[in-house]
Structure 1
Amino acid sequence: MSLSADHPIDRPNQDAFGFDPFARAIAKSIAALVSPEGLVIGVHGPWGSGKSSAVNLIKYHLASADLKGAGDLTLLEFNPWWFSGADTLALAFFSELGSAISKSLPDKAKEAFQALGRKLGSASPLIEAAMNFATAGVAGGLSGGATKFVSDLLGGGRTVQEEHAELAKALRESNKRYLVIIDDLDRLSADDALLIFKLVKSVGRLPNVIYLMVFDRELTEAAVAERFPSEGAHFLEKIIQATFELPPPEADDLRNLLLGNVSRIMGDVEEDRLTRFMNIFFDVVAPNIARPRDVVRLTNALEVTWPAVAGDVDQADFLAVETFRLFWPQVHRAIYNNKALVCGHQLGFEPHALAKDECDRRLLASVPEAKQPDLRKALMRLFPALENAWSNRFYGADFGQEWRLQRRICVQAHFDPYFRFALSDQVAPATEIEAFIAHSGDGKFVREALRQALATPRRRRGTRAAILLDELTFRASQVPEANISPLVTAIFSIADELDVQADQAGALAIGDNQIRIHSLLNRLVGERLAVAERDAVLEEAAKHASLRWLVNFALRCVGQHEPKERERQRDEPLTSAEAAERLRALALARVEVAAAEGTFVQLPDFVSKLFRWRDLIGDGGVERVRGWLAEQLVDDAVVVALARSFVATGWTHAAGDVVARRITHLNRGTVEALVDPSAFRARIAELLANANLDVDSRGALEAFEGAWTQSDRGDFGD
């Protein structure tokens, strides 16, 4: 990191804005001045326009041996912002002036310089008296009242007028000229800045002394208008004999410097994103860059903020948002406060005129009307959804996939890092995804990465495994083709581990990690491989698949070839019909083994797996499953597992409710399809009569009985 403290340049070869020709001309004019009498030259420009750089270049050329007339010129810099208050400023002014000028003067003149500084520095009212003196000219005298005031104040001795005359005589006879540079007047308070002008106009007006004063004319005239309403622009005209406005930098020079800084900090922009990057640069960033200091401000901001989010946000979007933060903070705040609006979740259904008015009200209410068209254009570059309101243009869902892949700010999941300078736990760092993809051919790496993600909870809900699977789905096209088979095999092998309650959606939402794996297969296998290749990859993975996932996946593949399913399905089945049958046979064989070994009953959601077993068998499946289950009811553990699995949990959302309500319910038809209800409830009653029954099992059995009773009444609330 290399932050700029806004240091001005001091050599022509550092000039990126074309200041040097201006500075060279001013230096040439100063060097050619003969016998100046307190001449004041002004260089003015807005705050941050590069005035100090121009002054440094003037000094550089005055120090050049090639500049005619500069040899007898002594430069003195007075920095008034080091001091504050009338007394201190006056004393410092003459102390600094005297330290440079009095070296070449006779002793009597030196004493006059010191005395003048002491007298003027002893009481600020003397400045006003000296102003009266300066108005009359160096050879003139103070008015009667002013002379008496000075004499009384000093209590005798030589007056300010006499000290000044002695000093002027010595300077006029000297063969030396002096250039006093007073920069950074912009940093002073209005009163202190006006005091410096008064000092220069009054007692500072001396033979062979030239002043170069650097200031913001607009600010200075505003201060004069406030303090001296009758003076206006005439105040500066009385003090400054020659004034020059610093030529503004060329817009291209400012933009090129900023682009160079951005490239250094943020790195190169990918070729396929370059056009959009430059569109955003010219529509959002460039209109706010009018002065060199604007470049420095934005550069320094990026130096601090970009490293925290590098690679995890879109470069163009981040540059634009930082521009809003620095130059339009009220719009920046409005964007942050209206995430759902700008990301499009509150647009699309309102009539066009209403949507436009709403967006104007919520995003641009604090912006002057003349600036609103430009800011609308800038905001639409970042948030395409706003084009719905402001230009009546709509985007399809395909664009959203691309925007999410690019981690654009218009995607709600990627919105917050642009403002918080850190990723939320709802998003995986790009480096993590890239590393996963790079190692996706290593089954051990894939399993360990997913297990680690599964063990990492998110702040609100769920695990990082869900985030990793989602990101992998969106980036499926980036997985090398050679890595597809080992990646799918690794995921199949731990699919049951990934099927955790934490990653299952709650009320009013759907989704779980098994659905995420199906989505990944669609993108990774279905969209990228020919059917023969898909069969080979998926059958190989199935050999290593965990049982529940294998059953789930095999039934999906078989179902895709059933007539009713084919009528609804527009996409091509994931496997061929022959491969689907082989997957069904493999899954059935694995279930039969588990049933025989007693592990099948231990599967979560036991009832659901019983129906899937039935579906795998096909004809005769009902009798086979019912017969096996009737034999198992002698086992207390099977009765408890069945009771637990028969009772389901769901969500309901009644009109007027703010949040959903959880409900438990039991489907009698499900029970009757698998067991004889009377015999099953008799076994439950038998177990509940056992005083030694453990608490967990008793709770499951009582929950079944309660749900059965509720089903009698038609009451399904929990």
Structure 2
Amino acid sequence: MTPGKKIVYSVAVRREKTRGTGLMTEPSGEQAEIQEWTMNSDRPIAEPDEDQFELTSFARTIARVIAKNRSEDSFVLGVHGPWGIGKSSTVALVRHCLDAEFGEDRENLEIIEFNPWWFTDKESLHADFFAELAAAMSLPDRERARLRAIGHRLGKHSASIAPIVGLIGGSAMEKALRATGGVLQDFLEDPKATVPHEHRRISDALREAGKRYLVVIDDLDRLDIEEAMMVFQLVKSSGRLPNITYMLVFDRALVERHLKERFSGADQQYLDKIIQASFEVPPPDKTDLRYKLREQVLRAVDAQNQDDEARILDVLVDVVWPFLNTARDLARFDNVLKILWPSVEGELDRADFVGIEALRVFLPLLHRRIFDNKNAVLRRPAARGLSEDDRASMTKTLFDGLDQPSVRVLQQALSRLFPRLEIYWGGSGYDSDWEAEWRKNRQICSETFFDSYFRYAIDDSTLPASQLDQIISQSGDGKTVASALRKASARPRRQGGTKAASLLDELVVRAEDVPEQNIESFLGAVFSVVDEINLPIDGSRRLGDFEDNELRAHWLLNRFRDRVSKEQFDRAVVRAAKLASLQFLLSLADRALRNNGLIEGRRGAERSIVSSEAAIELRDLALEAVTRAASDMSLLQVPELVSSLYVWMQLEEMMGEETVRDWVQQNLEDPQLVVALAGSFVSTNQSSSGRSNVTRTRYLVHKKLVAGLCDPKRLISCVDELLAGPGTTDEEKSTLRHFRELWDEASDEEPLFVEQLALDEADMTEE
């Protein structure tokens, strides 16, 4: 665009989808009709009413040249331009203009269409061409036969026509013989017949007939260069026939290039010797193309609101416009969107889908390089900054060998789709806060959704947008939310873990969509099932990375902190905590107390999740719940018993009480407690280091943690008794035996790490 010049668009909302209970419902009646569409075929237009790019006036000029030509001499004109520019449409409009605007001249003009690519037999091309002329011309049978015979003669490059009789067995000759009732046979058997002699006789017949002929030869672009040369030769060979105008339709630049490559001396002058007048099809006006593109794209992807349309228009300007040159480009791209968008509609960002598909259609090499360099286009550059070598390397990786459009245009296009690339080319940087926004919008620059734009399906690590919409629309119904989380925890993901982790991750980025009045019931539902869905397979597999579903629930809580006033949030969290499962309630109380500095020496760096008053209320709720669970022994069911016991101990210390160790000591005779402690005292993490392809699984036993809760010797004695005695299941014995073996190897002071090795899963999934 010219600097300072703006194109103003009107933005209109096309339709609103009906919403019932928050689920997207199918429109009906007139709304349903709005969604219907048809494919853009590649057929040429035939009427001026179909002309969207002002070809009619150009075609009218050519029609006038043909209609007003009164010379008996043969005349050859060329209509040329690149593929997709509208050459065939121009031909159709020329015919229309001849019929509609030059009636008197048209009455005496016969139009003959010859498409050489219909005839695959190169040997008979000349014969077919002259046979088509003969069939269409108003000539006596004998002259028609001579015309056909000339074609056979030229096709065989023979000095006389008679020898052809024994060589030709093709359908063209057979049809000609039958059609002329032996006239052609007589002519071919005459040894004195020559092409110049018969040419003169045909010319005299054409003059006497008084008819004029327009021979249209279209789609020369579809022929290989040898076939195209043959067509030019046959036009030249028949060029002296009177009252014939030839209109050759082809891509002149392409033909000239091939001529130079394949035939020395055959260049522009070669064509100029054949063609007396050339007409270059004018390219469509860029503004017309762009407005039509805007209309078609917004219809194809069904923009829902002004924000959608604004983003799509930005992508059209930066990503699609540079590649749009012809009406065929427009039709191709429109068809692609109509075919592919429905497969991902509602799951991916409309604007980004339009942009990446434009690159796939118009610049497939760049599209492939983006996919092959996923980490490079998505990652946040190192804090140290970028060197000139870094910038040059990125430009080379993505754009090397791509001459059109300019590198600057390509940089602008990719920066629109992948904002973090901006910094490589003098733009801004984007910190980690943007990642949640990109993921929420399901944009291509989000690592979660990147692959989906190339595979036309969301990865199983994500959830359908319709499912998330349903949960959010019913966020005030705690039972529905809790049920959705339970169901998700029962569904495994292909790359490990369950859908519960995916659902919580998606809810974190969509938290602002939960209505304020539903926050309390929504949090209560999440809190109530955290212990149940906090499965080990959903935890991090890397040493020092403690991501699990419990932590995801805390992240979700964070997203609501600034949605309402502090008083409202305190009230919502405390009420939701009354529904919380035990281990999460202990974790929540511990976090709130630490954030407010109420547990000595443990004040966290993060901003307080709730006020000090609310933290005390959470402590009291947690103490009440854990005391009750200890009394009926349901405490043994918490997923991480040891950590829960230590939190209980810390809460009691605030109250000046010390009952946790006594409770453990008093219940060590209970086999369930012993097995639970043995399993909980062994912690596991995984890591890989350096360039190693091996994952190290590390099992940790810390004897000091055991001593803090009970007498270690007594615990070991209970473990040994259960291993030796009856009534212990195989699974329980495996847990006890693992703990016992690690205990024997551990020191009294330092935790013990025992490693197991496995091939890194990342290498197993590499393409």
TM-score w.r.t. the length of structure 2 is: 0.85
In structure 2, what is the equivalent of residue 430 of structure 1?
Answer: 465
RMSD (CA atoms) = 2.6
Match of 1:512 among 543, 548, 555: 548
- Give the CA deviation at 1:10: 0.9
Do the aligned partners of residues 402 and 346 (structure 1) sit closer, same or farther apart at CA in structure 2, a change above 3 Å counting? Answer: same
Report which stretch shifted further, 602-611 or 182-191: 602-611
CA contact (8 A) 2:187 2:193 kept: no
Q: Distance in 1 between matches of 2:535 and 2:704?
A: 27
In structure 2, what is the equivalent of residue 197 of structure 1?
Answer: 232
In structure 2, what is the equivalent of residue 606 of structure 1?
Answer: 641
Report which stretch shifted further, 244-253 or 310-319: 310-319
CA contact (8 A) 1:183 1:215 kept: yes
- Give the CA deviation at 1:95: 2.2
Do the aligned partners of residues 549 and 568 (structure 1) sit closer, same or farther apart at CA in structure 2, a change above 3 Å counting? Answer: closer
Q: Deviations over 1:646-670 (max 9, x none)?
A: 2222345556644441122221211
CA contact (8 A) 1:112 1:164 kept: no
In structure 2, what is the equivalent of residue 147 of structure 1?
Answer: none
In structure 1, what is the equivalent of residue 667 of structure 2?
Answer: 632
What is the letter of the counterpart of residue 98 of structure 2? L
**Corresponding position: 1:352 with 2:419:** no
Report which stretch shifted further, 75-84 or 546-555: 546-555
Match of 2:609 among 574, 584, 601: 574
In structure 1, what is the equivalent of residue 593 of structure 2?
Answer: 558
Q: Deviations over 1:197-249 (max 9, x none)?
A: 21122135422221111111112223433454234222222211111111111
In structure 1, what is the equivalent of residue 412 of structure 2?
Answer: 377
Match of 1:679 among 710, 714, 721: 714
In structure 2, what is the equivalent of residue 44 of structure 1?
Answer: 80
What is the letter of the counterpart of residue 551 of structure 1? L
Q: SS in structure 2 opposite 1:41?
A: strand
In structure 1, what is the equivalent of residue 27 of structure 2?
Answer: none
Do the aligned partners of residues 99 and 204 (structure 1) sit closer, same or farther apart at CA in structure 2, a change above 3 Å counting? Answer: farther
Q: Distance in 1 between matches of 2:244 and 2:160?
A: 22
- Give the CA deviation at 1:588: 1.7
- Give the CA deviation at 1:566: 9.1
- Give the CA deviation at 1:380: 2.0
What is the letter of the counterpart of residue 179 of structure 1? L
After TM superposition, list the pairs within 5 Å mapping 1:99-110 onto structure 2: 99-102=135-138, 105=139, 107=140, 110=141
In structure 1, what is the equivalent of residue 66 of structure 2?
Answer: 30
- Give the CA deviation at 1:607: 1.6
In structure 1, what is the equivalent of residue 39 of structure 2?
Answer: 3
Match of 1:81 among 91, 114, 117: 117
In structure 2, what is the equivalent of residue 124 of structure 1?
Answer: 155
What is the letter of the counterpart of residue 318 of structure 2? D
Q: SS in structure 1 opposite 2:419?
A: coil
Q: Distance in 2 between matches of 1:268 and 1:565?
A: 54
Match of 2:737 among 699, 702, 705: 702
In structure 2, what is the equivalent of residue 535 of structure 1?
Answer: 570
- Give the CA deviation at 1:496: 1.8
CA contact (8 A) 2:531 2:638 kept: no
Q: Distance in 2 between matches of 1:205 and 1:465?
A: 82
Q: Distance in 1 between matches of 2:61 and 2:154?
A: 40
**Corresponding position: 1:253 with 2:288:** yes
After TM superposition, list the pairs within 5 Å mapping 1:219-298 onto structure 2: 219-268=254-303, 270-272=305-307, 274-298=309-333
Q: Distance in 2 between matches of 1:282 and 1:692?
A: 74
Do the aligned partners of residues 414 and 621 (structure 1) sit closer, same or farther apart at CA in structure 2, a change above 3 Å counting? Answer: farther
Match of 1:61 among 82, 89, 97: 97
Q: SS in structure 1 opposite 2:683?
A: strand
Q: SS in structure 2 opposite 1:70?
A: helix
CA contact (8 A) 2:214 2:245 kept: yes
What is the letter of the counterpart of residue 587 of structure 1? A
CA contact (8 A) 1:626 1:674 kept: yes
In structure 2, what is the equivalent of residue 141 of structure 1?
Answer: none
What is the letter of the counterpart of residue 44 of structure 2? P
**Corresponding position: 1:171 with 2:206:** yes
Q: Deviations over 1:405-455 (max 9, x none)?
A: 222222222211121111111222222222221222222322222222222
Report which stretch shifted further, 301-310 or 364-373: 364-373
Q: Distance in 1 between matches of 2:269 and 2:435?
A: 61
Q: Deviations over 1:305-328 (max 9, x none)?
A: 222222222222222222222222
Q: Distance in 2 between matches of 1:56 and 1:347?
A: 59
- What stretches of structure 1 of length at least 5 have no aligned partner? 131-150
Do the aligned partners of residues 543 and 303 (structure 1) sit closer, same or farther apart at CA in structure 2, a change above 3 Å counting? Answer: same
- Give the CA deviation at 1:338: 0.7
Q: Deviations over 1:522-572 (max 9, x none)?
A: 112x1101122123322332232222222222222233322568964453x
CA contact (8 A) 2:153 2:160 kept: no
Do the aligned partners of residues 362 and 38 (structure 1) sit closer, same or farther apart at CA in structure 2, a change above 3 Å counting? Answer: same
Do the aligned partners of residues 471 and 37 (structure 1) sit closer, same or farther apart at CA in structure 2, a change above 3 Å counting? Answer: same
In structure 2, what is the equivalent of residue 138 of structure 1?
Answer: none
CA contact (8 A) 1:87 1:122 kept: no
Do the aligned partners of residues 235 and 645 (structure 1) sit closer, same or farther apart at CA in structure 2, a change above 3 Å counting? Answer: same
Report which stretch shifted further, 333-342 or 539-548: 539-548
Report which stretch shifted further, 340-349 or 497-506: 340-349
- What stretches of structure 2 of length at least 5 have no aligned partner? 1-36, 162-185, 756-767
In structure 1, what is the equivalent of residue 375 of structure 2?
Answer: 340
Q: Distance in 1 between matches of 2:119 and 2:571?
A: 82
In structure 2, what is the equivalent of residue 112 of structure 1?
Answer: 143
- Give the CA deviation at 1:126: 3.1
Q: SS in structure 2 opposite 1:696?
A: helix
Report which stretch shifted further, 454-463 or 204-213: 204-213
CA contact (8 A) 2:595 2:603 kept: no
Do the aligned partners of residues 657 and 99 (structure 1) sit closer, same or farther apart at CA in structure 2, a change above 3 Å counting? Answer: closer
- Give the CA deviation at 1:616: 2.8
Q: Distance in 2 between matches of 1:67 and 1:182?
A: 23
What is the letter of the counterpart of residue 49 of structure 2? N
Q: SS in structure 1 opposite 2:627?
A: helix
Q: Deviations over 1:28-54 (max 9, x none)?
A: 221111143221111111111110011
Do the aligned partners of residues 373 and 655 (structure 1) sit closer, same or farther apart at CA in structure 2, a change above 3 Å counting? Answer: closer
In structure 2, what is the equivalent of residue 717 of structure 1?
Answer: 754
Q: Distance in 2 between matches of 1:257 and 1:600?
A: 67
Q: Distance in 2 between matches of 1:220 and 1:360?
A: 34
What is the letter of the counterpart of residue 111 of structure 1? R
Report which stretch shifted further, 168-177 or 267-276: 267-276
Q: SS in structure 1 opposite 2:76?
A: strand
CA contact (8 A) 1:3 1:303 kept: yes
In structure 2, what is the equivalent of residue 140 of structure 1?
Answer: none
Q: Distance in 2 between matches of 1:528 and 1:404?
A: 20
**Corresponding position: 1:411 with 2:446:** yes
Do the aligned partners of residues 601 and 370 (structure 1) sit closer, same or farther apart at CA in structure 2, a change above 3 Å counting? Answer: closer
Q: Distance in 1 between matches of 2:301 and 2:47?
A: 28
Do the aligned partners of residues 227 and 532 (structure 1) sit closer, same or farther apart at CA in structure 2, a change above 3 Å counting? Answer: closer
TM-score w.r.t. the length of structure 1 is: 0.90
- Give the CA deviation at 1:346: 5.7
Do the aligned partners of residues 492 and 126 (structure 1) sit closer, same or farther apart at CA in structure 2, a change above 3 Å counting? Answer: same
CA contact (8 A) 2:380 2:430 kept: no
Q: Distance in 2 between matches of 1:403 and 1:546?
A: 32
Tell me the percent identity: 39
- Give the CA deviation at 1:335: 1.0
Q: Distance in 2 between matches of 1:706 and 1:621?
A: 37
- Give the CA deviation at 1:21: 0.7
In structure 2, what is the equivalent of residue 145 of structure 1?
Answer: none
